Amino acid sequence: MVDKAEKKLQDEAIESTSEKRKLRKLEDDEEYDYITTPPDGGYGWVVLIACFMINLIVDGFLYAFGAFSKDLKRVYNCQEWATSLIISLACGFYLLSAPVASALCNRWGCRPIGIIGSIIASLAVALSIFSPNIYIMWLLFGCIGGIGMGLIYLPSIIMVGYYFEDKRAIATGIVTAGTGIGSITFGPLSRVLFNSFGWKYALVTLAAILLLCVICAALMVPLKPIKKRRILQPTEINDDNVFAPTTTSPLLDQTTDSKVAIAQTSVHQSNPNIHEEVAEELIRKRKGSIISTKSRQSIKLDDAARPLYKEDVLYQGDPRDLPEYQSQPDIPTYIQETTKVPEAKDKSPMKAFWDVFLSMTNINVLNDKKMIIICLANVCSMIGYYAPYLYIVKFAELERSIPEKLAVYLLSVIGFANTFTRFASGWITKIPHMSPLLVNNIGLTVAGIATLLIPFCHTYIHLIIYCIIWGGFIAFHVSLSPVIVCEIVGLERYSSALGLTLMFRGITSLSTPPVMGAIQDMTASFNIPFMISGISFLASALMHFCLMWIQYQEKKSKKNIESVKSQKALEV
């Protein structure tokens, strides 16, 4: 009997110890988050060079198509629209694959997806030389090749945001400069290959260069998550800790006034030097999102390693300009606050994929009229975007009798101007009164006017001047669009807005080049396609100027409301 009693006591003690351990583990899980802290250097520079090379190879290859499209047109004995459809499909699927590529990277990581994308793109381009007709070329080079290049490109953008925070603006400038340098090199390079080895061996060589992206993708090593003490939950906030720098504004069971008050306290306490307008902007965004649709539960180890759960990982501007960044005392706390894992009742192996895919294809963002304007403006800008890359060399050769050896360098001139502007755009927006939206609008306006004047460019010097102007000013639009989107919708909805913007761009890219090619077939001239492009740039600029006016009216209305409130407060 005694033995049984002792055994029972021992069993109870073991169960009690086990329960205590489980309870302690549960408390630890609730008390700590796992986060990935960007090194902002170190091995990050190796990743940065890899991402730079991916941009150089992929974008350089796509933008060089205008240098050798006449060879494919001659081989398949087809019209201009049919040749243009090859690159139209490639660029369209390249952009449309962004939500899928992002979701795949979140589920399986950037390294394997980048490697697979490199192999798919390289094989598609290499096998396209066996196409018996233009239709198979559309499928292999256009559709499959475009998807593969999209799977390469997205990981390179994600990894920059994954490895860099404070230095992200510099890192992004370096990586995106790869696009300009690719335009400089691939145009003349492809022309030399096609002239020296013929179109088949030239395409195989370019496919081999695309395969080099496998090495670049292999360098994309994921960061190891670290433990960080969890920020207090809203339910844990009381009078004693309201002023703690790591407390967040309540998300549930609080009135709007208390939300604004606590948010204001959090903003000023965490960063005493923050500007009043930044604080007001953050308070407005918090007030506009009273109930968060994303989980505030602790961040698990597996989820911390998934890059797309970071709200700013795709943001290509300077995170230090974001109100969310300025409201936090340090980078780890900022990362902790902007890493959001959507809740799910039923856990699925594909949850990480669907979380990102559904977020980036969320059309509810279009309920905001400003977002509709952005999407339509991007449609207009993409109508004209590919015309100079596709037709400037042919225009110079066929309509201005400029030798092929000289004409092909016009793409390089565009690349030089583009590279310089991409580096400079970040600094230009720091000049007082030069907001990203205003700089973007100036760029579109100048690019549009310059393109309208193409019919008056009669000499090689005139075309060089045009390429410098267009290549430089259109780069403002390309590099600043993500920053503008984030300013309009806020960081929490940024991935959804960016995904939709890329989808609108992709759909436009699928349809516009062949239409422009058909117009050239009917008129036997590139003047009308260039004029349509110029008008589309100006239309996009006009829509962006409307966006500026809406923002001005909103700020003016907000100031009026605040002044009325302050007057009433004084009267009381």
Strand (E) or helix (H) holding 226: strand 226-229
Q: Are 155 and 217 within 8 A, CB to CB?
A: yes
pLDDT at 455: 92
Please state, in angstroms and rounded to a whole number, the distance separating the CA atoms of residues 410 and 211: 27
Place of tokens 């919708």: 489
Secondary structure (DSSP) of 285-308 = HHHT-SS-SSB-SPPPHHHHT-GG
HSE toward the beta carbon, residue 285, CA cutoff 13 A: 19
Mapped onto helix, strand or coil, the DSSP state of residue 339 is strand
419: left (phi over 0), alpha (psi -120 to 50) or beta: alpha
The distance of Cα 363 from the centroid of its chain, to the nearest Å, equals: 17
Architecture in CATH of 29-231: Up-down Bundle (1.20)
Q: What six digits make up the tokens of 156?
A: 């390179």
pLDDT at 141: 95
pLDDT at 6: 58
Nearest to 282 by CA among 299, 316, 253, 259: 259
pLDDT at 220: 95
Domain boundaries, the chain: 29-231, 363-558
Mapped onto helix, strand or coil, the DSSP state of residue 219 is coil
Mapped onto helix, strand or coil, the DSSP state of residue 255 is coil
Adjacent-strand bridge partners of 310: 339
Low-confidence ranges of the chain (pLDDT < 70): 1-30, 231-297, 345, 571-572
Terminal Cα-to-Cα distance of the chain (whole angstroms):
81
Strand 32-35, strand 226-229: pairing? antiparallel
pTM check: above 0.75: yes
User: Is the domain 363-558 a CATH 3.90.1200.10 member?
Assistant: no
What single-letter DSSP state applies at residue 253? Answer: S
pLDDT at 8: 60
> What amino acid is encoded at 97 in this protein?
S
Place of tokens 């790869």: 178
Same topology, domains 29-231 and 363-558? Answer is yes
Nearest to 295 by CA among 102, 30, 22: 30
Maximum C-alpha span of the chain: 110
pLDDT at 7: 58
Angle of helix 351-360 relative to helix 494-523, nearest 10 degrees, comes to 60
